Chain A
Amino acid sequence: MKQIKSRILAIENLVITFTLRGQVLTAIRGISLDLYKGESLAIVGESGSGKSVLMKSIMGLLDKNGSIAQGQIIYNGMDLALFNTEQQWLTIRGKEIAIVTQDPMTSLNPLKTIGKQIEECVVLHQGLKGKAAYTETLKLLTDVGIDDVEKRYKQYPHEFSGGMRQRIVIAIALACKPKILICDEPTTALDVTIQAQILQLLKSLQQKYSLTIVYITHDLGVVAKVADRIAVMYAGDILEVGHTHEVFFNGKHPYTWALLSSLPQLGLKGQPLYSIKGTPPNLFKEIKGDAFAPRNPFALKIDYEVRPPFFQVSDTHFARTWLLDPRAPKVEPPATLQAFFEEGRQYANER
């Protein structure tokens, strides 16, 4: 690797539960994840896999019926999992960790000018006032690629397009001067051309503001464009984690294979597009073994009984599947993927 990276945030064996009508739902089932300074980590997974819950727990924004049952979130020598007052969280929210939310259409207060909404953060987190805060706000607007900033400062959210609003939301996050930026499906609500622009913007801002970015997404296309590392989530657990090229071109977990196979770009002409059979498990029930086993065509008997540990593939690449156990039968990834993996490896070698 280029340099020795320092950990900025460490999640240790985190368990998050929700109480719903007297029943307990385990949304996060013992996740451990490290975040390194300056990297972009993408957390991918289908809806309901717990990506957003994981990120919300880092900012203390879990819904009232949710709580951290077990585990630690270490940031700056503090265990965020133990935080329970607003006072404590206010030292983290915005100041250290900021968020770019999913839907720019509803994420801005319709009755405040966008200038005021950005300035609120500048005042709150940079300690600027009056003219200085105003100038800083204009600078942020310029940074996120908005023209005619003085006029735009006075406008209301409804006077902006979706892409523009997402830029404003990014400006709000930057105004906090955070160390970590969480982008929760930052491009889901945008059309494809705007998506590319926003991702480009985030990339350049990451350099300029030396941010660590966590992308939460179910769009593997986004991941490929921006992420250094990928963590694949399923049913409240991380199944595979590694550098983007490792997971993309040398994926080991059958769920990763399934996700990649369902990419329309990899589908073969004339053949129906692959889709994962079945539905994700019910998180109200205790899950035995590998959560993906019932939908996994390669599932072994042990997959239904014992939860697989993380097997190390390389220094940076881990996967939670019994297929990596030396005693397991040799299983090849699906044919369409093999070609893709081969291409990827060649591409990597050429570079």
Chain B
Amino acid sequence: MLWYVGKRLLQSIVTLFIIITIVFSLLRLMPEEGYLGAAAEKMSAAQKEVYLTNLGLRDPLLVQLGNFYADLLQGDLGKSVTYRTDVPVVTILADKIMYSLFFGLGAVGISLLIGVPLGILMAQMKGRWLDRLGTGYIVFVVAVPAAVYYLVIQMYITDIFHLPMLFDEYKPITWLLPLTSMALAPTASYAMWMRRYMVDELNKDYIKLARAKGVKERTLMFSHVLRNAFIPMAQYLPATILFTITGSIYIESLYSIPGMGGLLVDAIQRQDNTIVQGLVLVFSSLGIIGLILGDIAMALVDPRIKLGKGESVR
């Protein structure tokens, strides 16, 4: 197991290294104005030159890359240029991440707590009213664009219950609607997949044998079916959780939550190269860590996945 994790980590570091280098190189191809900020118009050509040299942008590319990695190892992602001039990128991210993380994890938590049991119940009562109700809900959430029901919730529910429209850190009641809105879609998807995997498992021969050997339906569900049905979901769960950090652009702007959601778009529009670079770094690391954790989670729950010597038997 340790050997497997170690190997996967090493592979991921290499992948990350390649991604960062590519992003870094791509940004060097962008117009240099991005580093000058609002002052660009007032600067003379010579001033610009001095400024860029001071930033280290006139050094050979390899030296720049080396410096970038050296800073990175110290947790320094550079300073914002235009977004919040001269504030370290790390600080900007740290401010915003907490909001996105709170809402994201909250939504995932709620949707797991509701979606998974809902899926299980639907599978057990396949074809009966609960299953139909659940299917109706899933179809609704999948078919109606999120923007529509987000807006409807914000407009009408706030009206009916006399809730404030916008997010306020100090009023927990205002956290409720963004959380619920964000949880709707993942709840539907967990319920859908859980139902589907449960139904799949319930039709398998080993369930029939277990039933024939006199195992009670209830024991059968919990001791035999549940774990087997959850395996396919285990792989994606870590990545889903990690990606909550990136925030939801739509919800955050609807409720004016100062989260990560719109940051990348803003930074690109304002040509803030260092923030873009920092964000890409964060997002790609998340993706990679999510994949590793997913694989580890799979390996933990499924004994058929052989670890170590590169052999994998399915």
Residues A111 and B227 in contact in the complex (CB < 8 Å), given A101-B205, A106-B206: yes
Contacts of A112 in B (CB 8 A): 224
**Out of A95, A106, A125, which one reaches B204, CB within 8 Å?**
A106
**Out of A86, A101, A111, which one reaches B209, CB within 8 Å?**
A101
**Docked complex: B152-207 residues within 8 A CB-CB of A:** 204-206
Contacts of A169 in B (CB 8 A): 209
- Of B85-93, B278-286, B300-308, the segment with at least 4 beta carbons within 8 Å of chain A is B300-308
Contacts of B301 in A (CB 8 A): 111
Contact B304 A156 (CB under 8 A): yes
Q: Which 3 A-B pairs have the closest CB atoms?
A: A94-B214, A106-B205, A93-B214
Is there a chain A Cβ closer than 8 Å to B45's Cβ? no
Of B206, B209, B213, B227, most A-chain CB atoms within 10 Å: B213
Contact B214 A121 (CB under 8 A): yes
Complex: A348 Cα to B208 Cα, angstroms: 41
Contact B212 A108 (CB under 8 A): no
Total inter-chain residue pairs, C-beta < 8 Å? 74
Is there a chain B Cβ closer than 8 Å to A59's Cβ? yes
Residues A109 and B210 in contact in the complex (CB < 8 Å), given A101-B205, A156-B303: yes
Contacts of B231 in A (CB 8 A): 111
**Docked complex: A77-115 residues within 8 A CB-CB of B:** 86, 90, 93-95, 98-99, 101-103, 106-112
Contact B212 A99 (CB under 8 A): yes
Contacts of B228 in A (CB 8 A): 109-111
Contact B304 A158 (CB under 8 A): yes
- A interface, size bucket: 20 to 34
Residues A90 and B206 in contact in the complex (CB < 8 Å), given A110-B304, A156-B303: no
**Out of B204, B212, B313, which one reaches A59, CB within 8 Å?**
B212
Is there a chain A Cβ closer than 8 Å to B217's Cβ? yes
Closest to A176 in B: B213
Contact A98 B213 (CB under 8 A): yes
Q: How many residues in B have their beta carbons less than 8 Å from beta carbons of A? A: 22
Contact A90 B303 (CB under 8 A): no
Is there a chain B Cβ closer than 8 Å to A120's Cβ? yes
Is there a chain A Cβ closer than 8 Å to B215's Cβ? yes
Question: 26 interchain pairs (CB within 8 A)?
Answer: A90-B216, A93-B211, A93-B213, A93-B214, A94-B212, A94-B215, A101-B208, A101-B209, A101-B212, A107-B205, A107-B208, A108-B209, A110-B206, A110-B228, A110-B303, A111-B227, A111-B301, A112-B224, A124-B214, A125-B214, A156-B303, A156-B304, A172-B209, A173-B213, A175-B213, A176-B214
**Out of B206, B212, B303, which one reaches A93, CB within 8 Å?**
B212
Residues A111 and B302 in contact in the complex (CB < 8 Å), given A106-B205, A158-B313: yes
1/0 per residue, CB under 8 A from B, across A134-166: the answer is: 000000000000000000000010100000000
A69 to chain B, nearest CB (A): 22
Residues A86 and B217 in contact in the complex (CB < 8 Å), given A94-B212, A98-B212, A99-B212: yes
List 17 additional A-B contacts (Cβ < 8 Å) besides A109-B224, A172-B209. A61-B208, A86-B217, A90-B214, A90-B216, A93-B212, A93-B213, A94-B214, A98-B213, A99-B212, A106-B205, A110-B206, A110-B303, A110-B304, A111-B303, A112-B224, A124-B213, A156-B303
